[in-house]
Amino acid sequence: MQLDQLHTVYFIGIGGIGMSALARYFNVRGCHVYGYDKTPTALTAKLQEEGINIHFNDDVNEVPEMTIEKALVVYTPAIPNDHAELNDLLERGFKVMKRSEVLGLISAQTDTVAVAGTHGKTTTSTMIAHILEHAAYKHNAFLGGIATNYETNVLLSENAQTTVVEADEYDRSFLTLYPKIAVVTSMDADHLDIYGNEGHLEESFRLFVSQIKPGGKLIHKKGLSLENGITYAIKEEADYYASSITIEGGTYMVDVVMPQGMIKNMALGLAGWHNVENAVAALAVARELGIGLDDIKSALGNFRGVKRRFEYHVKTEELIYIDDYAHHPEELRASIGSVRELYPGKKITGVFQPHLYSRTKDFASEFAASLEALDELILLEIYPAREEPIPGVSSSMLLHQVNLKNKWVFTKKELVEAMKDRELEVLLTLGAGDIDQLVEPIKEVLLNKLAAQP
């Protein structure tokens, strides 16, 4: 497939964060870009503003006219097998590729920095891209979230020498990549509906690492079952590690020991010790690419994060509201632990929307243990995504296992109403489903309450 010869690119599932980044890439390159998605969102509206034609019905009559030889159809694995448009295009002989395959083709044109891990990869890859952008290092970046500094999930440069990508382990997608630098942030059990067990997941990560190009480098969190890499850590010695972490006025100040010396008093624009770890990983990549310490330090200081990654929506003396994408027990533990560290002594109310029946079933006891670090818990019903219900698996089942006095299951409508009368100090909304659609309504309720106070 010669990408520079394409005339039209059609995306099935264009509203996904990874799909939309590719759509923007082809749109900027001058291709005619069209797409289907199941539901209109703020992101699809933004794509439409950028000139991309999108429809929301699975209807073969809505598919644009395309010349087979000069068209590419891109789809996401989240699309069901009985999707009418996808099957029609396959039957008509169009070139059809998964999102990950197209990302592999694009990234193969330059050296690739690929960031993998069951969590931490979106923030880490965005930090790396931000450092390179700040240092005027020519690169492209395809990100798994909307970078707050740029309000987009794709950064493009003329004559880019490096491409930064998020390497997704779901459906073994990252095996389409052959990186110059590979980063592995974590290998906790996840996606067991795909892998079956943790051993098969780890085997897939080792396959990914084996695809590093000759002369390339592996950078990984210390303690992972990977060999011959550059290690990073916080609070323990590694090739790159945070030797001191303090909080000054809500800002994390970090000293980092490196093979080439030390950075002292580096202020981070993001809160949370998990983000300190992500920053050390990004710093390691930047140093291995030859970026100067001053550029790294100033970039990490003005980094504003990724939408829905520990994102503040209300920050006053009376009330804190943070929204986070956390949807795995380890991510919940890190997010809640960071809030507890930042706001000791305050009551923390958490709202969690479990994502996938299979994940909830596989990790119910681990979810319960992580959620018990809250003072109050509200569960929404499970977001099914691509799955059918599993008998006996529900939010009520999970709630029963959480050892907390104050705990409830609400519908989404009940949740927004409940915010009007609830006494809150720190509110944390958590999950990877459609809980993000409640963020603005909740924020509006909270700001109205604050404005009404004498």
Q: Specify the pLDDT at position 85.
A: 97
Stretches in the chain below the pLDDT threshold 50: none
On the 0-12 / 13-18 / 19+ scale of CB atoms within 10 A, 290 is exposed
Q: Specify the pLDDT at position 354.
A: 97
Q: Specify the pLDDT at position 193.
A: 56
Q: Specify the pLDDT at position 2.
A: 80
Q: What's this model's pTM, rounded to 2 decimal places?
A: 0.86
CB 332 within 8 A of CB 430: yes
Q: Specify the pLDDT at position 453.
A: 82
User: pLDDT digits over 225-262, tens only?
Assistant: 898 899 999 989 999 999 999 988 778 999 999 998 99
Q: Specify the pLDDT at position 173.
A: 82
Q: Specify the pLDDT at position 312.
A: 92
Q: Specify the pLDDT at position 72.
A: 97
